[in-house]
Chain A
Amino acid sequence: MTENTRLLTPRVAVIGGGPAGLRAATKLAPAVDGEVLVLDREREAGGIPRHADHPGYGIRDRKRFMSGPAYAKALVADAEAAGAHIMTRAMVTGWEDDETLVATTPQGRVRIRPEVFCFATGARERPRTARMIPGTRPGGILTTGQLQNLVHVNHERVGTRAVVVGAELVSWSAVMTLQEAGCRTVALVSQYPKGESYGLFTGPGQLLFRTRVETESKVVRVLGRSRVTGVEIERADGARKVLECDTLVFTGGWVPDNELLRMAGVEIDGASGSPVVDATGRTSRENVFAVGNLNHPVETADVVALAGEHVADRIIEHLRGDRPSIPTVGIEVDDPILWVSPSAYDPQGPEPARGRFVAWVDRLVPRPTVTVRQSERVVACKRLWWPAAPGRAFRIPSSLLQDVDAADGDVRISLE
C-alpha cells in the first residue's frame, strides 16, 4: 500500500449497494452530519434485483408490485436523492488494518476509514462444486444468479431442456427466466417431501410451466462431456433414474458473503455463516454493523430493505454517542431450526426489524408450535398460523422473547 493511495473518511461506509445497503444509506444520509458512502462492486448498484427481470418486488416496502430492475433503479434514485454517495465498480478486496478497508476501482485503489462500517454484502447460491455433486464437469451448469445475468443482462440463449435443483422461491424464479429464454424446465428436484416453496407456486407452478417437482430426491451424478446431457437423481427409497436435460440450474442453498467480516475477526454463527448480530445489527465489533441477507440468507428484497432502514436507526444513535453496552443473551436453536437471526438478543433493547426473528428450517412443520426456553424455564410457547417450510424464511414474532431475562443466560428456541 503506497502513501499515495487515496484515503476516504466518510462517517459511514456501506459495503454493498443492494436493497439493504441502499435503504440503510437512504435513511442515514439526511440524518448523519458527514458523508454516507456506499461501495458497490458492480457497474450499477441495486444488487440481485437488477438481474431478476420479473415482477414481485417492492410489495412490503414500497407498497407496489414492480420488476426487479425497476425496483433496483428506484432504490438507487432514493439513496442519491437522500444525499448518499454511491461509488460503483469499487471492489473491496480486504483490510489494510482494523479500521481501514481497501478497494480497487478503475480510478485506482482507495482506502476507506469510516467511523462506522455497515456490511450489506448479501448472499450467493451454493454452486454445484460446493454441493459436492459427483460426475462430469460439462457446460450448461448454472446457478440462478448466473442464469439471470446471462438472460436478462446479456440477453443470451441457454438450452432447451432444463432441470432445476431446488423448489423454493428462487427456483421458480429460475423457471420463469428459463421460460423467457425459450428453455422448458422438465423437472425441479427437491430433497423435501413437498415442494419447499410457497404453496402458491408448487401446485399451479407445475401446471403453468408444464413441469413437475421430483420430491424427496437428490442429484447424485452429472452426465455429459462437453455439454450436460442429464442428471441422475436418487429418491429417498434408493431408486435412481436419469433426467435428460441440456441445462442444469442449481438454486438456493444460500451462503452469506461473510469473507470481509471473517477477515476482520468478527464473530460468525457456525450454523448460518452469518455474523452474530443483535436485534439492531451490531456485530461483535463495536463500529461494525451487518444487515440484510448477509444476516439471514435469504429473505425477499422488500424485507431486506426494511431491515436496512432498521439498522440505520441504530447507526444514527451510535454516531450520536449513544452506545449501550448492555449484555445480550445468545439464542440457540433445536432441530428442525437450522439458524435464527438475530442470534443475540437484548431484552431491554430495541426489537429486531419488523418485530420478527428470521429462522431457517430443514423440515416442513405445517402448524408449528414455537417454544422459547431459558435455563429450565419456558419463557413462551405459542402455536403459529403460518408454516415453517424449508427454503423460505420462517418468521418468529419477537413478542415471544419479551419475557427473556437478561441475567439468565442463553435462550433456546424449539419447534414442534
Chain B
Amino acid sequence: MYDVAVIGAGVVGAAIARDLAGTRNSVVVLDARDDVGEGTTKANTAILHTGYDAKPGTLESRLVARGYDILTEYCARANIGLDRTGAVLVAWDEEQAASLPGLQAKAVENGYEDTSLISAEDVYDQLPSLGPGVTGGLVVPDEAVIDAWTVPLALAAEAVQRGATFLREHRVTGVDVGAEQTVVHTDKGDVTARWVVNAAGLGGDVVDAMFGHDRLKVHPRKGELLVYDKLATQLVDKIVLAAPSKLGKGVLISPTIFGNVMLGPTAEDMEDKADTSTSESGFEFLLEKGSRILPALLDEEVTASYAGLRAANNQSDYLIDVDAAQRYVIAGAIRSTGLTSAPAVAEYIVGLLAETDLDVTMRDDLPPVPVMPALGEHQVRPHADDEMIAADSAYGEVVCFCERVTRGEIRDAMRSTIPPGSLQGLRRRTRAMNGRCQAFFCGAEVKKLYESYREPGDD
C-alpha cells in the first residue's frame, strides 16, 4: 500500500509526484500510456509563459507566474534547455493594434510589468522577415522557449530517484474509496493508496466522476503544428504571437529549443480523446496563416508535423481541490499553460495537503536534482564536447546525422532512470530521428541500438 497514488504522468502529475516523493510518504505514479508525458504534454507548443495574458485574479494567473520562476531555476539545475527569446505580439490591423494597450494593462494586473508597446517600424526592425501589414506590436521580453519533453522526464526521474514507483500502461478503470484507503483498479491490477491525486489531464473528468463528482467536463481540442528545418531560424529568433481569440492564443511562429521553427497550432474541438491525426484542412489553415505572417518560411522544408490534444474544459480557471473526506485531490482543467505552472501547481497542492492528516514535511536526505542530457540547440551537446568524447568515444559516434545524436546519448537514455518504452520515447529523450531526413539515414541503426541496449548487460 502506498501513501499517495498520482494518476497521470504528464507534466502536472510528474511535478506533483516529485514534490510528494520528497516527503516521508510513499508515492506511486500511474499512467495509461507507455511513457511520461504521452498525453497533452508532449505536443505542447513548448513556451514558458510569463502569464502576462492570463485572466487577472485567477489561480492560473498566480500559478503560471510562480511556475515561471520555479521552472527557470529548475531548468538551470537540471540542465534542461531554456532560451529566453522573448515574444512579440504582432497586430495586423487597426483593431488589433488598438487592443495592445489593453493587453499591456492586463499584463500589469497579472504582475508582469516589462512589456512594451512598439511601432510597426520597430516590429520590422526586430523581425525583418515578417510579411507586410504589421500595424504595431507588444514586446514580452521574458517569454521563453523550453524543452517540453525533458521537463516532465526530469520531474518524473527525480520522483523515482526520491523513491516513487512509476507504473506505465496502467489505465485506471475504477476506484473503491474505503474508510482508510482507496483501491485504484487498473487494467494491470489493483493499486492501493491512502490518498489519490487526479492529474489525468484529458481523462481528468472521468477520474473525477469515479469519486462521485460532477463538475468537470474535458474535451480534446486538437492543435496541429508544422516544424520547419533548422535554417528557417535565420528568419525568426523570437516568438511571434497573434492577437488572442476565443479559441486560444491563436497561431504562433516560434523558434524551438531544438533549433527549428514551429508554426501552429490550429484549434479544433474534438470528441475522440486519442485522435492525434493531422488533416488537410489543418495544413491548409496553417500554410495560409504562415504565408501572411512569415512568407519566406514556406520556402523552407517541413521537418515534421504533429497534432496534439489540449484539455479544453468547462471551467473558467484551474480546478484544484482537496476532498479530505475521500482523501482525494484534483488538479484539473489545466490548459496548455500547465507546462509552465506545473511545479507551482505541485507546490500549491502540497500546501493544501499540509492542512490535512497527511504529513508533508520535506525529508532532509534528498538526492540531488537529476542532470539531464543537453538537448537544446544552444547548449553544448556531446558531439561538440571535447572532454566528453575524450572520456568516452561513444559521444564521438554520431548516429543520427541531422540532429547530431551520438551512440553514447542513446545508450544513456536506455539506461536512464526512466528508459523509453518505445522508439518514440527514445526520440523525445535524444532527438534521434527527429531531423530533416526523418530516419532515412539513421532509422535502421537507431532501431538496432534501441533493441541491443534493451538487453540488460549488453554494451
Is B truly associated with A? yes
Give the interface of A toward B (CB within 8 A).
Answer: 2, 4-5, 41, 89, 91, 93, 102, 104-109, 124-130, 132, 134-137, 142-143, 145-146, 149-150, 153-154, 156, 220-222, 225, 255, 259, 262-263, 270
Return chain A residues, CB-CB under 8 Å to B436. Answer: 124, 130, 255
Contact of B383 among A5, A93, A136, A156 (CB under 8 A): A93
Query: What total count of A-B pairs have CB within 8 Å?
Result: 119
- Given the complex of chains A and B, what is the CA–CA distance between A154 and B394 in angstroms? 20
Residue-wise, chain B 424-448 has the 8 Å CB interface mask toward A (1 for contact) of 0000000000001111110111011
By a CB distance below 8 angstroms, the chain A residues around B440 are: 124-125, 127, 143, 145-146
Q: Name the one of B230, B283, B394 contacting A259, with C-beta atoms under 8 angstroms.
A: B230
Minimum C-beta distance from B290 to chain A (A): 12
B443 touches A150 (CB 8 A): yes
**A91-B383, A154-B444 in contact; A136/B437 too (CB < 8 A)?**
no
A127-B440, A130-B302 given. 7 additional CB < 8 A pairs? Answer: A104-B383, A107-B396, A124-B436, A129-B305, A134-B283, A135-B278, A154-B445
A324 to B219, CA, bound (A): 68
B393 part of interface (Cβ distance < 8 Å): yes
Residues of A within 8 A of B304 (CB): 129
- Residues on B facing A (Cβ under 8 Å): 226, 230-231, 274, 276-280, 282-283, 299, 301-306, 383-384, 386, 389-390, 393-394, 396-398, 401, 404, 406, 436-441, 443-445, 447-448
Enumerate chain B residues within 8 angstroms of A129, measured Cβ to Cβ: 302-305, 438
For the complex, what is the distance from the CA of A105 to the CA of B277, rounded to whole Å? 39
What CA separation (Å) do A379 and B100 show in the bound complex? 59
Cβ–Cβ contact B438 & A128, under 8 A: yes
Would A4 and B386 count as touching, CB distance under 8 A? yes
Known contacts A129-B304, A146-B440, A270-B299; A262/B390 CB under 8 A: no
The interface residues of chain A lying within 8 Å CB-to-CB of B305 are 129, 132
With A93-B383, A106-B389: A127-B438 Cβ-Cβ less than 8 Å: yes
Q: A4-B386, A108-B386 are in contact. Are A255 and B398 (CB under 8 A)?
A: no
Residues A150 and B447 in contact, CB atoms below 8 Å apart: yes
Q: Determine if B302 and A132 form an interchain contact, defined as CB atoms under 8 angstroms apart.
A: yes
Chain A residues with CB under 8 Å of B448's CB are 154
Chain B residue with minimal CB distance to A135?
Answer: B277
User: Do B303 and A130 have beta carbons less than 8 Å apart?
Assistant: yes
Bound-state CA distance A222–B299 (Å) is 24
Q: How far is the CB of B228 from chain A (nearest CB, A)?
A: 10
- Choose from B283, B398, B438 the contact partner of A143 (Cβ within 8 Å): B438
Cβ contact of A109, chosen from B280, B283, B384, cutoff 8 A: B384
Task: For A220, list chain B residues within 8 Å (CB).
Answer: 280
How far is A134 from B224 in the complex, measured between Cα atoms in Å? 10
Q: Tell me, rounded to whole Å, the shortest Cβ–Cβ distance linking A122 to chain B.
A: 10
Check if A130 sits within 8 Å of B398, measured CB to CB.
no
In this complex, the member of A150, A153, A220, A270 whose beta carbon has the largest number of chain B beta carbons within 10 angstroms is A150
Tell me which residues across on chain A come within 8 A of B439, comparing CB atoms: 127, 142-143, 146
Measured in the bound complex, the distance between the Cα atoms of B385 and A202 in whole Å is 50
